[in-house]
Amino acid sequence: MSHFAKRSMDFAVASAALLIFAPLLAIIAQAIWLAMGRPVLFRQVRSGYNGKPFTLIKFRTMTNAHDAQGRLPSDVERLTALGKFLRRLSLDELPQLWNVWKGEMSLVGPRPLLVEYLNRYTHEQFRRHDVKPGITGWAQVNGRNTLTWEQKFTHDVWYVDHQSQPARASHGRGVPRRHSAPHLTPHEARRPHLLCGPPKPTNRLHAAVAPRATARRVCAWGRLFQERALWISGG
């Protein structure tokens, strides 16, 4: 997918989503205002395309209350019950649709990190900034918080190299081996429960090839979501 086509799709989807979710955004904003007061939004400078800084916006999930010494408590202590709920459902990320609408972010891409990290990347890791950051990315659908930073950066760079090659990407070609996913047959796509466990050998021939089938133990819905995520981002 060309840059123009991807930007056009981002703009169209973000515009529609902002209209559709406007009532929900208003309800969440009201809940935050009642529970924590102002400001309702959290703003932070992050690194975007080519490392250029931009202001990312999210719903606020932590209080600004200080302790007796005038210091801010730890993030864990400041996180409110409402904030935990919003984070668990990723509702705090919804305002980033505005960043997508403005062209600062994309729907799919590496997650934007703090600008303070720019001088800490290796040359290879810095390539994650060759595309616009996204609300979700290849690392998020392949482990999210279970991955190390090095693994996340590897997935980010892989996405940069494959975003315009959806057919190649959706078949797992070039994906880090641990997370590659074989192609689904039409029969498996209709019956995803068949792939949520290893098949049982029914005869000697099947028993001989059963070890090869264990690579297909990933549940079909997760694999379909990963393929659609790359299809959306790359055409």
Answer whether residue 146 is part of any domain. no
Domain-located, residue 22:
yes
Q: Is residue 184 part of a domain?
A: no
On whether residue 182 sits in a domain, the answer given is no
Instruction: Tell me, yes or no, whether 181 lies in a domain.
Output: no
**162: its two tokens:** 């494959």
Residue-wise pLDDT tens digits, 98-138? 999 999 999 999 999 999 999 999 999 999 999 999 999 99
Structural domain contains residue 95 = yes
Q: Give pLDDT tens digits for 184-231.
A: 444 443 444 433 444 444 444 444 444 444 334 434 444 444 454 444
* Cα within 13 Å of Cα(137), Cβ side: 28
Q: What residues have CB less than 8 Å from 82, skipping those under 6 apart?
A: 31, 32, 35, 36, 61
Domain that holds residue 95: 3-136
Q: What are phi and psi of 136, to 5 degrees?
A: -135, 165
Q: Rounded to whole angstroms, how far apart are CA atoms 139 and 130?
A: 16
Number of domains within the chain: 1
Residue among 64, 68, 47 nearest 56 (CA)? 47
Question: Is position 221 within any domain?
Answer: no
Of 177 and 88, the structure prediction assigns the larger pLDDT to 88
**DSSP result, 126-164:** HGGGGS--EEE-TTGGGTGGGS-HHHHHHHHHHHHHHTT
Residue among 95, 98, 81, 78 nearest 40 (CA): 95
Query: What's the predicted TM-score (pTM) here?
Result: 0.67
Does residue 99 lie within any of the structural domains?
Answer: yes
Q: What is the pLDDT of residues 62-101, one digit of tens each?
A: 998 877 787 888 888 899 999 999 999 999 999 999 999 9
**Of residues 171, 149, 173, the one with CA closest to residue 161:** 173
